[in-house]
Amino acid sequence: MKKYAVGADIGGGHIKTAVINLENFQVIEGSDVYIKVRESENADVILSVWAEAINTSVGKAINFGNIHKEDIEGVGLAIPGPFDYEDGISLMKHKFSSLYIKNIRKKLAIQTDFKAESIQFKNDAESFLLGAVLMKQDPTIKEAIGVTLGTGFGSAFYSDEKSADANLWCAPYNGGIAEDFISTRWFINRYFELANKEIKGAEDLYNTINTDPYSKQIFNEFGETLRNLLVELVEKRNADTLVLGGNINKASEYFIEPLAKELEAASVKLIIAEGTEIAALAGAASLLRNAK
């Protein structure tokens, strides 16, 4: 019985891959690979790098993890939309534009040792939430919500051991949409409003939390926004767990308190994922659990 699959997480400037144990959803030590590739490159370059990462992870798992190639079921890719996940066709124009309407499954099958039907795709936010729950190995998690706090606002629902895109980024909020207030863009714009200076993102504020008077204020505002948006959503979905991931999550100690207090009062578990990409790899690889 095959027990492993390659998980791949596709970012705008890189691909991360690793071989995942499909019984406990942990990474096979030494099999992780990270390769940079610009999303503006031509299709041949992008797909060659993706295939290289997949093949390298397989080789590392065989060499260092004492795993046989025939025990690796296939590849699951966590990839942003718009994307035809069932047929493996990219529908993105805003990034990876050279891959538009190309069949990624067929092209990767040619460049890897896996059959086309053994290459599966899932939305990156969905993959993150599914993987985070599977890695937790907590049978009490029945209904969960996952959000990624980063360049954009990713979100997903988990129920009955499956995840689905929640599309919360476009939810109406404060005269705009949620992503206007939960994204790197908001941190940049808000800091410029207050300080008339430019920053690259939330990490700049995290690094100046004790010296810049605006840093704490902005994180406090962000925390209130999260509470206002997510507590209501948790109640509507009757969720028992909320999972947070994404790069901004690294500064969670400075904004999480308002949300954490309300969730605790409602007996809702809060999971702050330490490795968003690792969870996405596990969730994507889990697509091969029931492969025949």
Is the pLDDT assigned to residue 271 strictly greater than 70? yes
| Residue at token pair 């947070």 | 244
- 172 and 198 share a domain? yes
Q: CB under 8 Å to 290, separation ≥6 — which residues?
A: none
Expressed as residue numbers, the domain containing 250 is 139-278
- 143 and 121 share a domain? no
CA distance linking residue 150 with residue 184, whole number of Å:
6
CA distance linking residue 37 with residue 49, whole number of Å:
7
Could you say which of 71, 95, 128 is where a domain stops? 128
Taking each helix axis from N to C terminus, what angle separates 257-265 and 213-237, rounded to the nearest 10 degrees? 30
**Does 15 fall in a domain?**
yes
pLDDT of residue 72: 96
Q: Could you read off the pLDDT of 167-179 as tens digits, one per residue?
A: 899 999 999 999 9
**Does 288 fall in a domain?**
no
Q: What is the mean pLDDT of the chain?
A: 93
Q: With contact defined as beta carbons under 8 Å apart, do 135 and 279 qualify? A: yes
For 31, 53, 55, 256, 285, the CA distances from 59, given in Å and listed in that order, are 8, 10, 6, 40, 17
pLDDT of residue 13: 87
For the segment 240-257, the average pLDDT, to the nearest whole number, is: 92
pLDDT of residue 156: 95
Q: Could you read off the pLDDT of 142-160 as tens digits, one per residue?
A: 999 999 998 889 899 999 8
**Does 249 fall in a domain?**
yes
- 182 and 73 share a domain? no
**Does 287 fall in a domain?**
no
pLDDT of residue 151: 84
Q: Which of 186, 206, 182 is nearest to 194 (CA)?
A: 186
Amino acid letter, residue 15: I
Cα distance between the two ends of the chain: 10
Is the pLDDT assigned to residue 123 strictly greater than 60? yes
**Does 291 fall in a domain?**
no
pLDDT of residue 66: 83
- 171 and 82 share a domain? no
Number of domains in the chain: 2
Q: Is 172 exposed, middle or buried (0-12, 13-18, 19+ CB in 10 A)?
A: exposed
Could you say which of 98, 128, 158 is where a domain stops? 128
Among the residue ranges 17-26, 42-51, 129-138, 274-283, the one predicted with the least confidence is 274-283
**Does 80 fall in a domain?**
yes
pLDDT of residue 275: 75
Place 215 in a pLDDT band, splitting at 50, 70 and 90: very high
- 167 and 199 share a domain? yes
CATH number at residue 53: 3.30.420.40
- 258 and 210 share a domain? yes
- 54 and 174 share a domain? no
- 188 and 93 share a domain? no
Amino acid letter, residue 185: R
pLDDT of residue 292: 56
Is the pLDDT assigned to residue 1 strictly greater than 60? no
pTM of the complete model: 0.90
**Does 134 fall in a domain?**
no
**Does 255 fall in a domain?**
yes
Q: Is the dihedral of CA 290, 49, 104, 78 positive or negative?
A: positive
The pLDDT > 70 percentage for the chain reads: 99
